[in-house]
Amino acid sequence: MILEFPEFLPDLPPLNNPGMTVAENVIPAGASYKAFPSFEPYSTALTNYCRGAASARDPETAVTYNFAGDETKLYLLSNGTPPTWDDVSKVGGYGLSADEVWSFTQFGDEMIAVNIDTAMQKYQLGVDTLFSDLDAGAPLARYVAAVTDDFLVVGNTYDAVDGFKPYRVRWPGIGGTTGWTVSATTQADYQDLNGKYGWIQQILSGQYGVIFQERAIVRMDYVGSPAIFQFTEVEINQGTKYPGSCIRVGDLSFFIGLDGFRVFDGNQSVQIGVNKVDNFFFDDLDTSYEYLISSAVDFDNHLVMWAYPSRAIGAGAVNSRILFYNYSPNATKRWSYANISTQYIFSALSQGYTLDGLDSWLQNNPQSFSSSSTPIISLDLLPYPLDSRVWVGNQLQFGIFNADNKLSYASTSVFLDAILETAEAQITPGQRTELQLTKPIVDGENTTVTVQIGTRNLMNETPSFGTAISLDVNGNCQSRSNARYHRLRINATGGFDNAIGVEVLEFKPAGYR
């Protein structure tokens, strides 16, 4: 009898759960689970905790740019040896409040960066060497996006005339980033949304804008003069408390709503986490640091990811867990998580290196990025293989800022220890069972697998797990576990290709008492 590892469903009761109760340090790969890698530092460190990051590509030259921001500075990642975060702040720098973050968007050949504590910033790709104030007439804003490619749009604003307008959306003249005076000629204007639905929490770019308030989702469609934009309250009493949770993949916008994880298609939002992971997340979230939540897309693995501060891990003001969702329409394994410390996650564009550049990288950086004390002195000891997209320019990849303020990318050889735990079952209906022989089905040449058997006899007891049992020469786990209820915990180290399930080979009824 083969029991496939099903979908991760921690919100359902453990007994006869159709899913799994633990899927730790694995990613849902559609029809199986794959190992989750460790992350190797790639860059030098920011001065302080990362408060936001984004990538851009020059539309004329196709040169890649990666930007980041912290409490006092904005940075540009050099293609140097090693890659360094160069300070490209305006003269005097910045001063963000404790719970504020940077919001970035590319508009034409400019990277725009905003937060409510400082003037809007712009950096013209290929021209500027430092950020500078965008326009004396521009408001302060918490969020920025590009809508229809022709409009720079900001939300949750402040200006000297009207003060704070946390429910206001505003934009300059069509095709530009300056000229914020309301004008029928330039089409510069603003719109105040219904304040009873709370502050604007995020704006997502696209051919139509998606605006999240605390308790409403508003669609922003360009209609031309005189209205310029049509604002439609697509949903009310549904929105988000977590600005960093909102992320767009094509026409789909994923976010953490008031009642859990949702996806919005432009016309409605639907639940994707109900009876699956919503309660798991809300019970685990450390609300003292919820402003740290960030999200990213791993396009290779069809994953949307949310990094958040976990109460269970208790690391304080840091995102200590990442929750994964496989958005592929054919996936049967949707959810899992990894315990990894991150300041910020985002979809980065690789910088690109030649072999000569790699040689220089090695010579100038012999061990700063090595996970061991052994200096990197040959290509064989690079943290990523030569064919990794890390070294190839203009490649989208999942990047994180680690606890040392460094940009890091996934290792191809080092993986986190994985745990997969089955639901609880009464193998012999109405009786105890002696479980004698099981076989984990985990595909991987360098993988070490052990099995722990969890048991209890009464529903009001806490399950007790035995010591980890190594597999015999046939890949089987031999045991003599006698109990009414059983669950299996599979521990896998060293990485693996696919974790598929467990085969129950031998068991026998063991009576009623």
User: pLDDT digit string (tens) for 414-466?
Assistant: 999 999 998 888 989 989 999 999 999 999 888 999 999 999 999 899 999 99
Alpha-carbon gap, residue 140 to 168, rounded angstroms:
11
| DSSP class of 10 | T
Q: Which residues of 183-217 are buried (b: 16+ CB within 10 A; e: fewer)?
A: eeebbbbbbebeeebbbbbbbbbbebbbbbbbbbb
Could you tell me which CATH number the domain at 2-25+417-509 has?
2.60.120
Per residue in 402-417, pLDDT tens? 999 999 999 888 999 9
Strand partners, 502: 3, 440
The pLDDT value recorded for residue 358 is: 56
Say how many C-beta atoms besides its own lie within 10 A of residue 508's C-beta. Answer: 13
The DSSP result for 229-272, as a single string, is EEEEEEEES---S-GGG-EEETTEEEEEETTEEEEE-SS-EEES
CA angle 169, 127, 392 (to 5 degrees): 95
Q: Are 487 and 479 in contact (CB under 8 A)?
A: no
Gap between the Cα atoms of 334 and 7, Å rounded? 6
Q: How far apart are CA 56 and CA 66, in angstroms?
A: 6
Look at residues 503, 295, 298 and name the one whose alpha carbon lies nearest to residue 397. Answer: 298
Is cis: bond before 83, omega within 30 of 0? no
Q: What is the pLDDT of residue 476?
A: 93
| One-letter-per-residue 3-state SS of 173-200 | CCCCCCCCCCCCCCCCEEEECCHHHCCE
Nearest residue to 442 (alpha-carbon basis) of 28, 24, 34: 34
Q: What is the pLDDT, as a whole number, of residue 53? A: 98
Dmax of the chain from CA atoms? 86
Residue 485: the pLDDT is: 92
Q: Which residues of the chain have pLDDT under 50?
A: 367-371, 376
End-to-end CA gap in the chain: 25
- Helices vs. strands in the chain: H and E counts, helices first: 2, 40
| Long-range contacts from 467-476, C-beta under 8 angstroms, 24+ separation | 471/439, 471/440, 474/439, 475/439, 475/440, 476/437, 476/438, 476/439, 476/505
CA pair distance 178, 136, nearest whole angstrom? 9
How many residues in the chain? 513
**Which 8-state DSSP code applies to residue 425?**
B
Domain boundaries, the chain: 2-25+417-509, 50-271
Token pair in block for residue 216: 């409403």
> Which residue reads 């269970």 in tokens?
312
| pLDDT on residue 364 | 55
Both tokens of 41, joined, read 């530092």
Beta strands 151-159 and 200-204 are unpaired
SS3 (DSSP) at 86: strand
Report the half-sphere exposure of 88 (CA within 13 A, side-chain side): 25
Q: Flag whether the pTM goes above 0.85.
A: yes
CA atoms within 13 A on the CB side of 113: 34
Taking alpha carbons only, the member of 66, 64, 79, 69 closest to residue 46 is 69
Distance, in Å, from the CA atom of 188 to the CA atom of 180, rounded to the nearest integer, reads 6
Is it true that domain 50-271 has CATH number 3.40.50.2000? no
**Token pair recorded at residue 150:** 């022709």
**β-strand partners of 24:** 337, 419
* Distance separating alpha carbons of residues 144 and 137, to the nearest angstrom: 16
Are the C-beta atoms of residues 59 and 81 closer than 8 Å to each other? no
pLDDT of residue 369: 45
Cα 5 from chain centre: 24
